[in-house]
Each structure stands twice: as structure tokens, then as C-alpha cells.
Amino acid sequence: MKLLLADDNEAIRDILDNFARAAGYETVMAADGEQAWQLFCTEDIDLILLDVMMPKLDGFAVCRKIRECSDVPIIMITARGEDYDRIMGLEIGADDYVVKPFSAPEVMARVKAILRRLSRSGDAGQGRQYGNLVFQEESGRVLVAGKTVRLTHKEADLLLLFTANPGQLFSRDKLLDKIWGMDYTGDTRTVDTHIRRLRAKLEQAGLSGCAIGTVWGRGYRWEVMS
């Protein structure tokens, strides 16, 4: 398990780093919001400890950017303990909130609790299986050849729709209605972009025995090979 520790206070980073490594975690550290975002994009991160008051990008902004593409657990750490800030952090997607000054062992206990809970939910139930892909609907976890594939919310919604309706043809307009909502007014090519990225992630993970097929001029469907 790898943790991203993002805080502009070097002493706090070092304390969290020492406790995290003692608990058996790998760590990468960021001193500002931009660096935190860059590390998230380039490293395989399992959980983020994210300070709110950081230069360049604050923690709320980083959390919003991450939630556009990932459900990785985020614990916000800040000196701002007002109810408004706590509620805001949770509403934009944080999983937990710790106020400075904090106890490092308590923070590590929260980290372990979140990762343990995710591990249990990920192991529960077989889910839908096609070829070497397993989609665990309850937890939203996607496995290819036994390895987790991280998807954005829209990618996961698309995959859930396709696997729930194998062989059914969906036009771009139908996918926009079901996934983006009937009020969506953007370009229909966003469907093609999301499906292209979804395919790339599944293929890179080694998907076999199933695929998102294209029916030229008509749409897409989930195909299972015999």
C-alpha cells in the first residue's frame, strides 16, 4: 500500500512519513497542491493524507480534481476545524477529516480502518464475471485478471451499464441520457472519448474474453466471446 502525504509543513510530513513507514506503508510526499496532483497522476496511490491550506492549489481544489477521476480514499488534515470546513471537505469527496494538532497514531489508525474496510468490501461477493473481468457492483470494484482497474465515475457507470445488458446496442444519444442525464447539452463525442479511455484501461490490464464492441454508425455494446 502506498500513501501520498501532502502538507506544506515539512515537520508534519516527516512525522506522518515515519509513522506510515513504521506501519508498513510506502510513502510519497508533496509540499504543495500542484505537486500532490502530479504525484497522484504518476504514482499508484492507495490513500491520500491531504492538508487543506497548501500553496498553489489548496486541499479542497486537489480533492475536487481527484474526485473527477478516482475514488481513492482521502483524509483531509487541517488546522481549520469549523463545521463548515469539515462539511465542505466531506461533501466534495473526502472520506475522513482530522484537525491539527493531531495524534499521528490516531491518523494511522484511521488510515488502517479505511483500507481495511475497502479490502473487506472488495472481497465481498463475486459480482458479474465475463472472461477475466469481474465487476463487483456493491463495492464498484473492477478486476481484470485478479488486478484492480481504477476507473472514473463515468467509466464505471458505462461499464456497469454494458455488463448489465450484454449484447444490447446503445447509441451515443442513449448513453448520454443514461450516464450523463437528459439535461446534458455537451458534445456527443464525449461518449467516444470515455469509451476509448475505458477500453484502453481494460486492454492495458489484460482484458480477454469480452470487449466493448462498436457497431459503426449505430453505437456500442458489450460482447462476450465464446
Q: What's the CATH number where 76 sits?
A: 3.40.50.2300
**d(C-alpha 121, C-alpha 222), whole Å:** 26
* 177 pLDDT above the threshold of 70: yes
Global pTM? 0.57
In this structure, are 56 and 112 located in the same domain? yes
The answer to whether the CB of 137 falls within 8 A of the CB of 128 is: yes
pLDDT score of 138: 64
124 domain residue, yes or no: no
The whole-chain average pLDDT of the chain stands at 85
* 37 pLDDT above the threshold of 60: yes
pLDDT tens across 89-126, in order? Answer: 777 878 888 888 889 998 999 898 888 766 654 444 55
Residue 182: CATH number of its domain:
1.10.10.10
* 83 pLDDT above the threshold of 80: no
Q: Phi then psi for 82, rounded to 5 degrees? A: -65, 150
182 domain residue, yes or no: yes
74 domain residue, yes or no: yes
In this structure, are 83 and 133 located in the same domain? no
In this structure, are 103 and 20 located in the same domain? yes
Point out which residues pair with 82 in neighbouring strands. Answer: none
pLDDT score of 222: 92
Number of domains in the chain: 2
Higher pLDDT, 183 or 158: 158
In this structure, are 109 and 156 located in the same domain? no
Residue where one domain finishes, among candidates 119, 137, 166? 119
21 domain residue, yes or no: yes
* 82 pLDDT above the threshold of 50: yes
Higher pLDDT, 187 or 216: 216
Average pLDDT score over residue span 24-29: 95
HSE toward the beta carbon, residue 62, CA cutoff 13 A: 34
Name the nearest CA neighbour of 212 among 146, 143, 159. 159
> Which DSSP category does 45 fall into?
-
pLDDT confidence of 4, banded at 50, 70, 90?
Answer: very high
In this structure, are 147 and 214 located in the same domain? yes
* 80 pLDDT above the threshold of 90: no
Range of the domain at 59: 2-119
89 domain residue, yes or no: yes
Crossing angle for the helix pair 59-67 and 83-91, to the nearest 10 degrees: 20
In this structure, are 139 and 67 located in the same domain? no
HSE toward the beta carbon, residue 167, CA cutoff 13 A: 2
In this structure, are 44 and 82 located in the same domain? yes
Residue where one domain finishes, among candidates 69, 85, 119? 119
In this structure, are 95 and 16 located in the same domain? yes
In this structure, are 17 and 111 located in the same domain? yes
In this structure, are 90 and 140 located in the same domain? no
pLDDT score of 124: 45
Residues 6+ apart with CB under 8 A from 21: 27
In this structure, are 115 and 154 located in the same domain? no
Per-position b or e across 147-170, b if 16+ CB within 10 A of its CB: eebbbbebbbbbbbbbbeeeeeeb
pLDDT confidence of 16, banded at 50, 70, 90?
Answer: very high
Instruction: Centre a 10 Å sphere on the Cβ of residue 93 and count the other Cβ atoms it contains.
Output: 18
Higher pLDDT, 154 or 217: 217
Residues 6+ apart with CB under 8 A from 116: none
Higher pLDDT, 41 or 83: 41
Residue where one domain finishes, among candidates 85, 119, 153? 119
